[in-house]
Amino acid sequence: MTGAVGVIEGFFGRPWSWPDRAAYADFLAGLGFDFYIYAPKDDRHLRRRWREPWPDDTVARVAALSRGYRAKGLRFGLGFSPFELHLDDAHDPAALRARVRQLNAVEPDILCVLFDDMRGDTPALAARQAAIVDDIRAASTAGRIIVCPTYYSADPVLEKVFGPMPAGYLDDLGRLLAPGIDIFWTGPKVCSRRYPSAHLDDVAARLGREPFLWDNYPVNDGAAMAPFLHIGPFRDRPPALRERLAGHAVNPMNQAWLSRIPLRSLADSYRHGDAYDPDRSFADACRALCGAELGAAVAGDLPLFQETGLDRLSAAERRALEGRYGDFRGHPLADEVLGWLAGDYAFDPACLT
């Protein structure tokens, strides 16, 4: 997995549709990406209701996804979040292993154990989470395990929301997890724009391994980001970045088709290196994914989508966008713009519970 690049559907809010997920197999393979990880926060059977097995229809859908991605030469992964199990003084390892054996039925190549976005204010956090990972690892048939810590960034906002990080947490977690297990990291911020070499080297020293980058661009979940469409190109992800990473997982937007625009630019960035031109890549992506006329509209409206945002559009701007993209109704990217304008992707705090 060293240097592998792919997508983790790991956001809150409105998830992708099953057809949209399936269609990503061809798209990611065409970009030369390596994996897709199914981990929507909306799937409560992987998070708050993790003790309960999936309904039969979900098993069938996820198994079909797994087969589809593997048929295209990509690894298929799952994100499993035993929600706040590390706060339970008497958790049952047998029950945990039984649930993991149920997940084995869809034959994941990668199993992510995600402790993100939950309380972590307990002194024994690293030891408890490492023990949980050991139990999961013993039952899983996945060839690769990736762990997301509760404190997955140097951003102080995590301690404000989830409680103070226990002293030595990252060092202890890195020491207690087996060397072959990867660890997610989002960088200096939860949503980082850059990943300085010195920062990544320091994190690698603390974790005892190169971090596996969880890249929170172009994700747009949450109250602050949901009013925006992050379709602009990736910047500051040079090929040299991969030399300091175990892998690179991109967390996309709630809009699956519009997310393809920046994802295409990331492939260009890694492919072209110093010759990468983000603005040219963006224009090329809009044209290739939308066609000439719609692509020109999307490219021209980038400032409204990414900088102004839905809540600050004037009435005239909103009407103009509705008319412009209404002419392309039926095209999946135009339909996502129209849905965004209609409030279909508005943030609902209930998704956090």
In whole angstroms, give the CA distance from residue 316 to residue 99.
Answer: 53
Q: Please say if 117 is a catalytic residue.
A: yes
**Residue 247 β-bridge partners:** 4, 212
DSSP H/E element including 35: strand 35-38
Show the tokens assigned to 267: 């492939």
Q: Which of 77, 73, 136, 74 is nearest to 110 (CA)?
A: 77
Q: What is the DSSP string of 261-276?
A: HHHHHHHHHHHHGGG-
Strand 144-148 with 110-114, pairing: parallel
Six-digit token string for 241: 């970045």
196-230: buried (b, 16+ CB within 10 Å) or exposed (e) per residue?
eeebbeebbebbebbbbbbbbbbbbbbeebbbbbb
The catalytic residue among 43, 116, 117, 135 is: 117
Residue with tokens 């392309």: 328
Q: What are phi and psi of 36, to 5 degrees?
A: -135, 135
Supply 110's token pair.
């990668």
**Which residue from 52, 112, 103, 105 is spatially nearest to 80, judged by alpha carbons?**
112
Rounded to whole angstroms, what are the CA distances from 234 to 53, 97, 215, 282?
37, 39, 11, 9
Token pair in block for residue 21: 């997920």
Considering only CA atoms, which of 244, 246, 257, 188 is closest in space to residue 216? 188
Q: Is the dihedral of CA 85, 86, 88, 90 positive or negative?
A: positive
Catalytic residues: 117
